Amino acid sequence: MNNIPLNQILDLYRTRGQAQYGGEAVSQLEHALQCAMFAEDAGEFPELIAACLLHDLGHLVHYLGDDPARLGIDDRHEYRAVPVLEALFPDTVTTPIRLHVAAKRYLCAVDNTYWDSLSPASKLSLELQGGIFSQAMADAFIAQPNAQSAVKLRRWDDLAKVKDLKTPDLEHFQPILAAICQVPVA
């Protein structure tokens, strides 16, 4: 599974992306496209746009070789796709993906308005993911390389739940992915 070419990753979004994104009103694909669009609209660098598009790929690879009975618990999706993605992309893509769940825990610890901005599904998943960081944990988190990018990704992740929001399609983002992909794209 670690040597999946970029086109197969995009095919996962095409074939599995219509699944509902948790308890939200959007699909996995809609969520990914919205998150990437927000990063692009903010003028972010291509690696962060890619991270935003691919941050929940772990949900789509959940069943690849895994026990489907594990649904309903924290599936640690932020780690599931990283072995695949790190073969294709630099750390500036994979680290924000790996840290985006911890970024929610961080934001709850440092921003007293953040909790109220979370959807009910995000509040539930926060508890499954370990809850709010202590101050020491928050300080250690933000000191990591690419943690600031993970926080940006997290904020767009939280916004990317708008039913019927018009976004660019997956093909719009393909050249961005191909340009930063570390292996030749067919």
Say what angle helices 135-142 and 147-159 make with each other, to 10 degrees. Answer: 110
In a domain, 186, yes or no: no
Name the more confident of 2 and 152.
Answer: 152
Dihedral angle over CA of 57, 38, 151, 121, nearest 10: -60
Number of domains in the chain: 1
> Distance between CA atoms of 12 and 21, rounded to whole angstroms?
14
pLDDT at 144 over 70: yes
In a domain, 185, yes or no: no
pLDDT at 186: 57
In a domain, 87, yes or no: yes
Interval 67-117: pLDDT, tens: 433 444 445 677 678 888 999 999 999 999 999 989 999 999 999 999 999
Domain of residue 161, residue span: 6-180
Confidence label for 23 from pLDDT (cuts 50, 70 and 90): confident
Dihedral angle over CA of 173, 177, 180, 183, nearest 10: -160
**Half-sphere exposure of residue 60: CA atoms within 13 angstroms, side-chain side:** 26
In a domain, 30, yes or no: yes
pTM above 0.85, yes or no: yes
> Distance between CA atoms of 178 and 57, rounded to whole angstroms?
17
pLDDT at 58 over 80: yes
pLDDT at 124: 84
CATH number at residue 63: 1.10.3210.10
pLDDT at 128: 81
In a domain, 167, yes or no: yes
131-138 average pLDDT score: 96
pLDDT at 63: 52
In a domain, 79, yes or no: yes
